[in-house]
Homo-oligomer: A and B are copies of this chain.
């Protein structure tokens, strides 16, 4: 299997491929390990596509460190997993904002936002699953929805919808929050179905996305 650079036998199960042991961080640089742990966790999360398949032990192995070291930086496994997601939440919001900003008008901006949303989900399935498809019981206490998602991407969406309503001079103006949730349901619904049911005989994916995005927005337009 792996070559032995030294004559020493590994104490662990001998068949396991072994990552070279990481060099100990210099004094005062302990935080470096935190960053490496996050990156390794993210890689494993993407590779395995399953948060349960990512164990503390596997993360430690990937970093080249023993498992108790993880606990120098994260209180428990859940905190680690969610710390990885925090980064994705930010990117998720940024991507949508950027997509919307490039559009010529608010309505098209809304469409672009939706496209970006779906694209993100399809390209980052496991992160998307953790962010939006984790059941409440598995979510740590500190992750109230208001704080984590609501405060950024969702509020941006509500604002974008409000802009549309104004732009279209809708009368009477629908409730922006209500519309935002409806749109969110749409894109989330499609994203999660596509992720969960790859064997379903889907029609052409891009055409489907366009249809799904168009239909509710059509419903919004003045008649």
The interface of chain A, by Cβ under 8 A from chain B, is: 49-50, 129, 132-137, 144-146, 149-150, 175, 177-179, 181-182, 184-190, 192-193, 195-203, 207-208, 211-212, 214-220, 223
Contact = CB atoms under 8 A, between A and B. Distances in A.
B207 A178 contact: yes
6 contacts: A49-B137, A146-B201, A182-B212, A185-B186, A187-B189, A223-B223
Given A145-B197, A182-B208, A216-B216, 7 more contacts: A133-B133, A146-B201, A177-B203, A186-B186, A215-B220, A218-B218, A218-B220
A190 B185 contact: yes
A20 to B, nearest CB: 30
A149 B134 CA distance: 23
Contact of A200 (B150, B187, B196): B150
A185 B216 CA distance: 11
A68 to B, nearest CB: 26
